[in-house]
Amino acid sequence: MNVMNQKLTGIGMTSDRTRMRMIERLRQQGITDEIVLTAMREIPRHIFVDNALASRAYEDCPLPIGFAQTISSPYTVARMSELARSGKPIKKVLEIGTGCGYQTAVLSRLAQEVYTVERIGPLLTKARRKLVEIKCSNVRTQHADGSQGFPDMGLFDCILMTAAATHIPQDLLGQLDVGGRMVIPVGTQQQHLYLIERTPQEFKETCLESVKFVPLLPGRS
């Protein structure tokens, strides 16, 4: 096996077996969507963190990715993906907060088209490189403040935000298709995950478990 392949497939604490153990843990934690579990079983999470942290990539915790940001824990990624899918294939998903690109890579296995927006330029550059490395060819990225969504791309059947907003951004609701779902952490000190479902009549809000995300920030850098 050449060095490049070995980096992707992993060895020791980044190996296939370690990834299998993560999947078993996710099952114990209540994740049941086999499509999500398969995506997470196949995507090498360790390549999305710095080499020095690669051996910790499959632990059930967030890890630093630079610029005071974090990669979400495996459970958080699985839970949000499961809520986004709700047992159905996704046509077009918008992710706000690309970060290191791991959640994006998982979404690329669950959806036909993935649009992702990140406000920190160097993070996005790194994420793009990783997504190319593992051949996620259905992803389009944008360096922008994602609270306005990804304008001019039409409506999305799924919107997922990976940073906590103080309120649900109205611009984003406008980009959600009828029958679509938004998964978004809301709050400052106390945060909760919200599921918003757009029906022909209304935006139905469901408040789920308490969560801890980095804040959604304005502008881009």
Region near ligand SAH per CB under 6 A, out of 8-16, 85-93, 112-120, 184-192: 112-120
Region near ligand SAH per CB under 6 A, out of 52-60, 96-104, 129-137, 181-189: 96-104
Helix (H, G, I), strand (E, B) or coil at 171: helix
216 binds ligand SAH (CB under 6 A): yes
* Exposed / middle / buried, residue 148 (Cβ in 10 Å: 0-12, 13-18, 19+): middle
191 binds ligand SAH (CB under 6 A): no
Interactions with ligand SAH, residue window 115-154 (CB under 6 A): 117-120, 123, 145-147
Provide the angle, in degrees to the nearest 10, between the axes of the packed helices 121-133 and 102-110.
Answer: 50
100 binds ligand SAH (CB under 6 A): yes
Q: Report whether 150 contacts 117 (CB < 8 A).
A: yes
Question: Closer to ligand SAH at the Cβ: 162 or 191?
Answer: 162
Q: Taking CA 105 as the corner, what is the angle to CA 164 and CA 1, rounded to the nearest 5 degrees?
A: 140
Q: Taking CA 38 as the corner, what is the angle to CA 181 and CA 117, rounded to the nearest 5 degrees?
A: 45
Q: Which two tokens stand for residue 110?
A: 């669950």
72, 81, 108, 147: the catalytic one is 72
d(CA 216, CA 218): 7
The identity of residue 91, as a single letter, is: K
92 binds ligand SAH (CB under 6 A): no
214 binds ligand SAH (CB under 6 A): yes
d(CA 3, CA 8): 9
Q: Report whether 182 contacts 158 (CB < 8 A).
A: yes
* Exposed / middle / buried, residue 59 (Cβ in 10 Å: 0-12, 13-18, 19+): middle
Q: Least Å distance between CB 197 and ligand SAH?
A: 22
Region near ligand SAH per CB under 6 A, out of 131-139, 171-179, 200-208, 209-217: 209-217
Binding to ligand SAH by CB under 6 A, coded x per residue (else -) over 4-33, reads ------------------------------
Q: Least Å distance between CB 202 and ligand SAH?
A: 26
73: annotated active-site residue: no
Catalytic residue annotation: 72
Kindly list the residues in this chain that would bind ligand SAH in the complex (CB under 6 A). Answer: 65, 69-72, 96-97, 99-100, 102-103, 117-120, 123, 145-147, 162-163, 214, 216-217
